[in-house]
Structure 1
Amino acid sequence: MKKIFLFTGFAVALSLSAVAQKNADAVKFSESINKKRGYDHLSILASDEYEGRETGKKGAWMAAEYIKKQFQSFGLKGPVKDSADPYFQKLGYASLSLSKSVFSVNGQAKESLKDYYITPASVSSTGYDVKASSILFAGYGLNKEGFNEYEGQDVAGKVVMIFATGDPTATAPAPQTGGRRAMSSVGSQQAKIKYLLDNKAAGVLVINANVDNMDPRLKNALQNGNPYLKTADRIKNMSSAQGLPVVVIGTAVANQLLATVNTNLDDIKKKITDSKKPATVVINVPVAFSAKSVETDVRAENVLGFLEGSDPKLKNEILVLTSHYDHIGLVADPNAKDKVNNGADDDGSGTTGVLLMAEAFAKAKKAGKGPKRSILFMTVVGEEKGLLGSEWYSEHPVFPVENTIADLNTDMIGRIGEEYLGKPDSANYVYSVGSFKLSTELGKLSEQMNDTYTKMKLDYKYDDPKDTQQIYYRSDHYNFAKLGIPVIFFYDGMLEQDYHRPGDEVNKINFDLLAKRAHLTFYTAWELANRANRPVVDKNADGTPKTK
């Protein structure tokens, strides 16, 4: 066992020593990766005309068409079979919206998105129609040992009202988890609703103060439908969420109901907290709510450009270069002066990097110096919605997963992050995320390319398992890593200044730095596409060494 690992390490050292000298061809064809060409692309992709490139909207469709035309102009092929357009991998993406939403208290109709809201994903196309002569108020909806707010109660066939969050018996706040998807988790609320579903409640009113002053982004999302990816798991989860009618109500409606039993939200919370005892009570006020949803397919596509390798023995192996071309669209606030979230850095910069590299590799092939392995240049959509485009590709790969040797992902490579502002090396660094997670060899190769060509500081901060931002899980490379494919995510670390705001504009991009980071990605890709062997995967998904 030790001899095997020693030999592998020696082989890696030999292969890396062979690339210590600059490759003249790589240097020559990298010249088109420059700040002028970068500006040419990004000034279009991040313009106001593209309206923030939100998935499923006009701006994203415009960006997809632009990227496709660039791939065509370079001479890349569209590799998607059985598609109306071989450059587009159409996602199974749809939007759910409410075709009906009614809620009344004691015969008085309430206003949607002001007094209450119903999430489209919680309603099936057949809908529901709930009527009850009374409500069971069960506080926080807890049913644990020593504090059971349903003790002595049969919730079957009843409408139950509970607080959205909180546990007056908790000794410490629940730990926070990172990652894009974890951020949207309903946590304990999901368990509370599941209890009511399992016990055949008729419906639930969830008290949430956020309804009172609704975030414009939430309001916009509820008005314009709830988009989702039609994977088997998501459809299954959605079906299970549609099992119990849920109405989210504001404090005004809740207090109206509680007033009939001579209390209010503040008093009832204080009473429960002080006594550490449930305050479950029946409210004899009739309520009625009904809803139906309708599903509409939404256009969304990954854009793929393919460069076939020159070596008959290696061209079936695929290197993937990714970025996401979508952003978050227009500002929801109608009073905003700047209404476009341009997404110049996030991730117009990474998409620009992919276009620059695609052009450079295509020029190399035309000159008879093309890569031995094939390269798939893929700009994905739906990253801002939860890594949807890369998830779809991971479940519907155009090329076999076992033939995919690595993914190099550029997501935000055009600016200087907060930690480097004002520092001497502020314009000469990049965060390298995940490069050693699955393959020691890939990480060392990237370091060798940097030492040979670009000489930037490679910052591995976000590889720390204790990273509170959980950056490793928050871009499209992760959907390749989940499949055991080695990855590197190049990133500038901008998390505060203009992040997901209209201020993320082209005039704030450092194009010299964008080009330099794209150069590092290009040289790493050049070596991966031309070396004798693909990078060895010597680690498990959790970073522990593989054993033979």
Structure 2
Amino acid sequence: MKKTLLYTGFAVMLSLSATAQKNPDAVKFSEIINKDRAYSHLSVIASDEYEGRETGKKGAWMAAEYIKKQFQSFGLKGPVKDGTDPYFQKLGYASISLTKSVLAVNGQTKENLKDYYITPSGVSAAGFDVKATSILFAGYGISKADFNEYEGQNVAGKVVMIFATGDPTAKPSSTPQQGRRMPAGPGSLQVKLKYLLDNKAAGVLVIDPTVDNLSPQRKAVLQNSNPYLKTDERMKNMAAATALPTIAIGTAVANQILAAANTNLDDLKKKITETVKPATVSINIPVAFSAASKETDVRAENVLGFLEGSDPKLKNEVLVLTGHYDHIGLNNDPNATDKVYNGADDDGSGTTGVLLMAEAFTKAKKAGKGPKRSILFMTVVGEEKGLLGSEWYAEHPVFPLANTIADLNTDMIGRIGEEYLGKADSANYVYSVGSSMLSTELGQIQEKINNTYTNLKLDFKYDDPKDTERIYYRSDHYNFAKNNIPIIFYYDGMLGKDYHGLGDEVSKINFDLLAKRAHLTYYIAWELANRANRPVVDKNQDGSPKTTN
């Protein structure tokens, strides 16, 4: 029979029920975590000189160098062995640029980024060169039992033209889904292209009306792709994306092709929608399109500082303290007076917290009071691009994930969020996210430590499975949590106009509150690094109790 582990949680609850006595050593070395020291770091990290710290850009490299020098000055070791710098874990990060982009219809050469575009990430190193004497127009590209636009057609070796989006048979959902990724439907471009790839089409012309009015920013991306992370999963996805030569065409090119069949986009859309019947037709018009690309490595690194534990039996276990040092870079509006997205709160504040804790723990070790377990202080890059730095570490861990006991992540700990403005406890709260998601025990440890040392109001709002903001999934702790490593994510809830805005400045940071939140993280880290046992993982990824047979 199945038996839940309730007895374990009950025993832990009894052991932690009373407020513990303060550890005088922990208190002594916490003094370095103060508002003045916080300001000294954050005023540099979030300065205009660092240009918003965008991943892959000069400002981020400057921030990485600053953090490295701080780690060195504290006495932390660089643990990275497979690079030129032991403090830098270099990400496999690269961009793709087009070196060739050609489209000709009926012998007429079209203009790139005006009449069509080819996505750089959709072109492999080998490139492609497609030529055909006719084009198969297949409407919306739908292939399902009651509406199959490929019925009676063999697409192998053919160039197929389809609308980028839409499904004339789709019914609007009366129950919108929140907080859940739904499977792609037959009207999604992903599904349409997979059908054509599986059936060996030679290439695809995707009718995309946005081609008619591309913004300067979009054009820049389409000439040189945003850098991408070369993890195993992403590389597999990219290989699939480049397997089928695909080009997006605007309405002018599409109508030129359709004119050869005495029709046009508007008439065809109306016909298909009203009749809910396919209007597939082979059009005798020659087309040729080709592309080539090159990949360029982009510098991006996580910055790691390592403090080895003092207990021979426990030092192989590692506690990780994280914060992301990157932000979103510069304001490209030529009329703007403020050019820098400083990211003081997001996440200069959390990075500052990591630096303060690193200095406190290294001072403790120098005084003979070092932690029993090892601690990895890691400021990660690429969070704003999609949690890239922590994803890279999770796939290429410097220390085995099996030996990693927890991750405490500080991402935005320097401001008062909108919900707390004007409230009595506005300067004495923090959102605690995920503390009991995987480990009941870790949540109870947090409660004990907070009651003993800091007495912050812990707000668990974002632990609600119905949270529409999905905060639990939106910072670097998640790449540890998805590998069953217990986490706590500390966050101030600042999601107003200054979030990713030009107003996220050092002048708006509450340094007393930043220091207090860093104190809470530090004291929990002290407890985790010195207690006899690592936190028990007693829950599944969805927060449900683990069971044993």
The TM-score normalised by the length of structure 2 is: 0.93
- Secondary structure of the residue that 2:323 maps to in structure 1? strand
Per the alignment, residue 247 of structure 2 pairs with 247
Report how far residue 182 of structure 1 moved: 9.3
- Secondary structure of the residue that 2:152 maps to in structure 1? coil
C-alpha distance in structure 2 between counterparts of 1:32 and 1:395, whole Å: 34
Change (3 A) 1:384 1:8: same
Per the alignment, residue 167 of structure 1 pairs with 167
Per the alignment, residue 308 of structure 1 pairs with 308
Per the alignment, residue 68 of structure 1 pairs with 68
Deviations 1:217-257 (A, max 9, x none): 54333333342222222222211111111112233433443
C-alpha distance in structure 2 between counterparts of 1:186 and 1:343, whole Å: 40
- Secondary structure of the residue that 1:354 maps to in structure 2? helix
Deviations 1:101-153 (A, max 9, x none): 11233333333233322112211111111122332222211011211112222
Contact 1:177–1:183 (CA<8 Å) still a contact in 2?
A: no
Per the alignment, residue 99 of structure 1 pairs with 99
Tell me if 1:20 matches 2:20: yes
Gaps of 5+ in 2: none
Q: How does 1:270-419 map to 2 (within 5 A)?
A: 270-419=270-419
Change (3 A) 1:47 1:124: same
Amino acid at match of 1:270: K
Per the alignment, residue 114 of structure 1 pairs with 114
Contact 1:217–1:332 (CA<8 Å) still a contact in 2?
A: no
Change (3 A) 1:388 1:500: same
Report how far residue 3 of structure 1 moved: 10
Q: Which deviates more, 151-160 or 472-481? A: 151-160
- Secondary structure of the residue that 1:212 maps to in structure 2? helix
Q: Which deviates more, 408-417 or 16-25? A: 16-25
Q: State the identity as a percent.
A: 79
C-alpha distance in structure 1 between counterparts of 2:185 and 2:19, whole Å: 46
- Secondary structure of the residue that 1:313 maps to in structure 2? coil
Per the alignment, residue 476 of structure 2 pairs with 476
Report how far residue 36 of structure 1 moved: 1.9
Report how far residue 18 of structure 1 moved: 6.5
Report how far residue 311 of structure 1 moved: 2.1
Deviations 1:275-313 (A, max 9, x none): 222222334433221101111222211110011122222
C-alpha distance in structure 2 between counterparts of 1:289 and 1:334, whole Å: 35
Change (3 A) 1:178 1:492: same
Report how far residue 19 of structure 1 moved: 5.3
C-alpha distance in structure 2 between counterparts of 1:111 and 1:54, whole Å: 32
Per the alignment, residue 516 of structure 1 pairs with 516
Change (3 A) 1:477 1:422: same
Report how far residue 511 of structure 1 moved: 2.0
Provide the aligned length of Structure 1 versus Structure 2.
547
C-alpha distance in structure 2 between counterparts of 1:334 and 1:156, whole Å: 49
Report how far residue 387 of structure 1 moved: 1.6
Amino acid at match of 1:473: Y
Q: Which deviates more, 258-267 or 33-42? A: 258-267
Per the alignment, residue 142 of structure 2 pairs with 142
- Secondary structure of the residue that 1:316 maps to in structure 2? coil
- Secondary structure of the residue that 2:462 maps to in structure 1? helix
Contact 1:415–1:494 (CA<8 Å) still a contact in 2?
A: yes
- Secondary structure of the residue that 2:322 maps to in structure 1? strand
Per the alignment, residue 45 of structure 1 pairs with 45
C-alpha distance in structure 2 between counterparts of 1:232 and 1:218, whole Å: 27
C-alpha distance in structure 2 between counterparts of 1:267 and 1:154, whole Å: 25
C-alpha distance in structure 1 between counterparts of 2:452 and 2:541, whole Å: 29
Contact 2:42–2:506 (CA<8 Å) still a contact in 1?
A: yes
Per the alignment, residue 485 of structure 2 pairs with 485
Report how far residue 336 of structure 1 moved: 4.1
Q: Which deviates more, 278-287 or 253-262? A: 253-262
Q: Which deviates more, 53-62 or 150-159? A: 150-159
Contact 1:410–1:489 (CA<8 Å) still a contact in 2?
A: yes
Change (3 A) 1:5 1:161: closer
Contact 2:142–2:187 (CA<8 Å) still a contact in 1?
A: no
Report how far residue 422 of structure 1 moved: 3.7
Q: Which deviates more, 181-190 or 332-341? A: 181-190
The TM-score normalised by the length of structure 1 is: 0.93
RMSD of aligned residue pairs (Cα, Å): 2.7
Amino acid at match of 1:102: V
Report how far residue 7 of structure 1 moved: 4.8
Contact 1:413–1:492 (CA<8 Å) still a contact in 2?
A: yes
C-alpha distance in structure 2 between counterparts of 1:158 and 1:150, whole Å: 12
Deviations 1:350-375 (A, max 9, x none): 11111111111112222222222111
Gaps of 5+ in 1: none
Change (3 A) 1:278 1:399: same
Change (3 A) 1:42 1:208: farther
Amino acid at match of 1:498: D
Per the alignment, residue 55 of structure 2 pairs with 55
C-alpha distance in structure 1 between counterparts of 2:344 and 2:442, whole Å: 29
Change (3 A) 1:51 1:116: farther
Contact 2:5–2:545 (CA<8 Å) still a contact in 1?
A: no
Report how far residue 442 of structure 1 moved: 0.3
